Structure 1
């Protein structure tokens, strides 16, 4: 069930109405039923995997909770309990991530094996469930947090199942934490007009970015970025630029819809997207883009790696053999590199995603190693790093690095990535630009709409970056102005989006991850 479909709108409206009509103690049951309906509308068989993962992690949480409740008599018993807890958590992790590997990466692994061997190993032909990596990561964060004793396990399997399968977040996140989301899902609420108003505004803003901008930009992208692309480098660069626009509005728009729908139920979802185009470094960019995935990797991959015994030994060895900054940050830089490599692999079973992880991992690791030298250069050149000019330079530089990285995430395979990059640099063919662009599926009006739409999006983000809460400012205006903005938004969405000639709604890009 796509967010842009009429069935999703109907499901959301019906769920909101029922949520505030039924007795407050039963409100969370409406959310559970809506989540089950949302998922089963896509695939009943796939929903079975959600139930399996939910059941497995819920039981694991209960077992870990029992061990947490034991008060050890001495250090020996404490160590024994800790060892058993670790074994249980590892078994659960192997099962969950093993399922993720089997569904997303097993067939890819077989393709890497010699045909004499790979052809004799069974392939995984099951349908990959919607949001597989999202609900597995979310479930495992719960297990790890219970293992660490951060909170007590949830004893009600249905309430826990709602946490795993809450329908607005299933398509592309955010990856929520149990202690942040679960209490909100089961809270008893009265109808709050402010929640409905903010929720509708957020959802409309998300639909504007997705339907009016992203889906329109996708037309040009699909006509340019392909295997055996016949165009010169200038047109290819335009295609990647429009892909950047598409991805930016597709992902941030989807997150806004998620937060908007959840807010209609009075639920405040974790922020997952914070104006990444205002970033001044690649590290800053990824801290703002898919925030909850980065936070998950930080808490459950980077810290355990960086503070593990093997990495402690690596740090001691590096400080002994390397002088200066290299020796001090070798271990943490290695852990950082591994995290970005994993993030690349997380995107999918394809060498281009591995290369994407390497691209970001190498650049960010290199920036850590070169940080002191960069600071020295700035001091010698008397650069004021707080000046507007320097911030603009750093922002443009960061976008350039991100722009190159988008070749990896959009091209169909790794060989095509390097072909497109090579053509962009070596064979720009600017002369064909004006004759080719009008044939790529977009008219002059479409380019104008995309341009104006981007100006609106980044105008709003500019004020938010400077500390203005645009939505709060709007809600403080007179009711007539608010109604006018809402009406204009709906008209724009309908005329320039849903009802435009030849409009075909596309799936959210992050759905495939």
Structure 2
């Protein structure tokens, strides 16, 4: 319908008469209503299935604070696998057709294939129709190069998940589930290890998805770009879950910041606060919408809302103080591009990330605050000096295996950060080296993977979002 209205609108001459201009405006208004309806339906289904319980409990709590007791019967829904991912992809398709970035596909099967392409159905990445649909519908035959490169990436991703992420769960889960039994040092270590666990689980699953796509000659978008090399919180989110960040940027940030109310707010703010800080007010409104949406997208809980607001505040404060930091550095002759300053920025950003992921993993906002309180008020290393930390479920052997594999992950990350496409470089080597590396990774995963007696199966962590 949108495409038909666009064609009808575009057939009107550029210098149309009054009646034709009205027809063009009527087409635009009709398209806006269609798009709004499609977005509301898609987001509405997601909201009902995923958030009705959370909002119902929140409403009951607010009413109880005013002395109104309400017993809300909130039904429990079984969530379809990957609903958050293909809902956002459906919204992006509709919006791109409306903006004329994508031509509407008359073949419903092509659109359904785009939304339900199996490698990305569980955890993404969030693809755009123009980027993926052509290779999806081309149906090209398998070839040796794609088969090898895809297999290598699949095995690499499985190694990250099974060797590191699943093994770290044996330490992380007990600490987060019973944080009151541990001191601040153990909780701080659990927050660090959880961040590594989440990265290896999520990026490993992305490697598997992209590898499967490569096998079928479908180029899915990259979702990670060495996030732990980031120097600021803002840069971190440009490198972590890249496709989600771009989705919020294109379909939330820009529409809000370019809306009439925000433009009016910018005009008034410029007069009041000047050209430097005036536009930041409207940007803050748009950024607030992005981070509230980001938090809620990850889950229905107060800890996820806090997680979003945490990064909103940090990014806004960072933007406000950046000019002052630059002037101070210039005044004292500090070269901000030299490695000592960059290392300090990276270390600071890592601390910010660890705290954020602590709240992200916590069972509730209250639990997250309590854990941070124990780190700040009861930080000791006694559990490490006495060896009691090794009784939690993570022994010396586990630590050695994780450390060695993470060194390999670091080497690959440094190579990619310096512009080396590791997968293409390996794919260009001779067959014995190429397949030898695949076999080595496979054997290493089977040998050192975290499974069997003493380990609990760990589902892909981002599948729940």
Q: Do they superpose with TM above 0.5?
A: yes
Aligned to 2:151: 200
Q: SS of the counterpart of 2:463?
A: helix
In structure 1, C-alpha distance between the alignment counterparts of 2:81 and 2:388, rounded to whole Å: 37
Query: CA–CA distance in 2 between the matches of 1:119 and 1:164?
Result: 40
Q: After TM superposition, give the deviation of residue 118 of structure 1 in Å.
A: 7.7
CA change 1:117–1:86 in 2 (3 A) is farther
Partner of 2:156, secondary structure, is: helix
Match of 1:51 in 2: none
Q: Which moved more, 1:279-288 or 1:123-132?
A: 123-132
Conserved in 1, the CA contact under 8 Å of 2:295 and 2:307?
Answer: yes
Distance 2:45 2:326 in 1: 46
SS class of match (1:105): helix
TM-aligned CA deviation for residue 487 of structure 1: 1.7
The C-alpha deviation readout for 1:57-98, integer Å capped at 9, x for no partner, is xxxxxx111101102452211111111110111111111111
> C-alpha separation between the residues in 2 aligned to 1:98 and 1:376?
47
Equivalent positions of 1:368-407 (< 5 A) are: 368-407=319-358
* Contact 2:150 2:215 (C-alpha < 8 Å) held by counterparts: yes
How many angstroms does 1:328 deviate by? Answer: 3.3
1:489 is aligned, of 417, 441, 463, to 441
What is the aligned counterpart of 1:80 among 8, 26, 47? 26
Q: Deviations over 1:176-235 (max 9, x none)?
A: 111111111111313310000000000001001000000001110001112552100000
Q: TM-score, normalised by structure 1?
A: 0.85
Aligned partner of 2:37 among 79, 85, 91: 91
Asked whether the 8 Å contact 2:266–2:278 carries over to 1, the reply is: yes
Mean Cα displacement is larger for which, 445-454 or 144-153?
144-153
Partner of 1:11: none
Q: Any idea what the Cα deviations from partners look like across 1:138-172, whole Å, max 9, x if unmatched? A: 00100011111222211112221111111100111
Residue 189 (1) aligns with residue 135 (2): no
Q: Which moved more, 1:322-331 or 1:117-126?
A: 117-126
What are the equivalent positions in structure 2 for 1:6-85 lying under 5 Å apart?
A: 63-70=1-8, 71-72=11-12, 74-85=20-31
Measured after TM superposition, the shift of residue 502 of structure 1 is 3.4
User: Is the 2:166–2:450 contact (alpha carbons within 8 Å) kept by the matching residues of 1?
Assistant: no
Q: Distance in 1 between matches of 2:125 and 2:295?
A: 18
Counterpart pick for 2:233 among 246, 264, 282: 282
Which of the residues 88, 100, 109 maps onto 2:46? 100
- Which residue number corresponds to residue 224 of structure 1? 175
**Once the 2 structures are TM-superposed, how far is the Cα of residue 120 of structure 1 from its aligned partner?**
4.6
Residues 201 and 228 of structure 1: CA distance in aligned 2, closer, same or farther (over 3 Å): closer
| Distance of 1:228 and 1:404 partners within structure 2 | 15
Tell me which residue corresponds to 1:426.
Answer: 377
Q: Which runs of 5+ in 2 are unaligned?
A: none
Whether contact under 8 Å (1:301, 1:339) holds in the other structure is: yes
Residue pair 1:497, 1:503 contacting (<8 A) in 2 also: no
Match of 1:442 in 2: 394
Task: Return the alpha-carbon distance in structure 1 between the equivalents of residues 245 and 305 of structure 2.
Answer: 17
Whether the aligned pair in 2 keeps the contact of 1:347 and 1:353 (CA below 8 Å) is yes
Supply the distance in 1 between the matched residues of 2:144 and 2:191 (Cα, whole angstroms).
Answer: 42
Match of 1:250? 201
SS in 1 for 2:335: coil
Which residue pairs with 1:358 in the alignment? 309
> Take 2:451 and 2:83, find their aligned partners in 1: how far apart are those partners?
32
Verify the 8 A CA contact 1:111 1:118 in the aligned structure 2: no
How high is the TM-score relative to the length of structure 2? 0.94
2:252 aligned with 1:306 = no
Q: Which runs of 5+ in 1 are unaligned?
A: 1-62
Is this contact kept in 2: 1:200–1:264, CA < 8 A? Answer: yes
Q: Answer yes or no: is the 8 Å Cα contact 2:167–2:450 preserved in 1.
A: no
Computed over aligned residues only, the root mean square deviation of the Cα atoms, in angstroms, reads 1.6
Report deviation, 1:281. Answer: 1.0
Alignment correspondent of 1:333: 284
Kept in 2: contact 1:340–1:360 (CA 8 A): yes
Matched, 1:463 2:401: no
Deviation >3 Å, runs of 4+: 114-122, 498-504
For residues 297-318 of structure 1, give each alpha carbon's deviation from its aligned partner in whole angstroms, at most 9, with x where no partner exists. Answer: 1111111111111000111121
- The residue correspondences of 1:314-329 to structure 2 (distance < 5 A) are 314-323=265-274, 325-329=276-280
Please state whether the residue corresponding to 2:209 is helix, strand or coil. helix
Partners in 1 of 2:451 and 2:380 — Cα distance?
36
Residues 227, 416 of structure 1: 8 Å contact kept = no
Deviation at 1:117, TM superposition (A): 7.2
Distance 1:223 1:146 in 2: 48
Q: In the alignment, which residue of structure 1 is the partner of 2:108?
A: 157
